[in-house]
Amino acid sequence: MKKTFNSPLTISKKDLLDPSGQTDKNFRQFLYDLSIAGAQLEVARGYLATQLGVTPPQYNILMVIAQYQHPDGIGLSEVANHLHVSIAHVTNEIKKLDQLAWVTIEINPQDRRARLVKIHPKAEKHFIQLGHHQRTTNNLLFGNLSKAEFNKMRDIMTRLIEDFALTIDHLELNKK
């Protein structure tokens, strides 16, 4: 009888290996599940973006602005930080959203070189209408989480994003 091929371990951290320490099947399944969850979340967010008639990246930017703006607005770098994207990306999308009258852009009175952005007053009604779709979608997506699980998952995701960013930097350096 021929021997079955066994793929090599894809991680060496003992805490992430299966209990036997010989396989990483649980880790691999976690990666598959994480990938599918991310893809499904993107589908849901894409649906919500279509409700506003914007692209998914524009939707993400609008949601950060709507959530975190102060009376004067929110800085573009703060938006970029929340989304873990470049300020150039945010600036480019903000210009488009300004042209579509989703946001207003003003000079930051604290730093005249910087800009503050906020939801355009005429666009506010669209966010109120969208709220029902967001609540239904999020209640379905996260309906199985308890408060403790949610808080733990938030903490874990924050740490994973830091690890993922370092990994991407490492991969980019090795590509050159």
Sequence-distant (6+) residues with CB within 8 A of 96 are 58
Q: What is the pLDDT of residues 97-109, one digit of tens each?
A: 999 999 999 999 9
Asked whether the predicted pLDDT for residue 157 surpasses 90, the reply is yes
CA–centroid distance for 99 within its chain: 24
pTM score, two decimals?
0.88
Q: List residues bridging with 75 in a β-sheet.
A: 116
Q: What is the pLDDT of residues 6-41, one digit of tens each?
A: 889 999 999 999 999 999 999 999 999 999 999 999
- Hey, where are the domains in the chain? 24-144
Domain 24-144 fold is Arc Repressor Mutant, subunit A (1.10.10)
Strand arrangement, sheet containing 111-119:
74-75, 111-119, 103-108
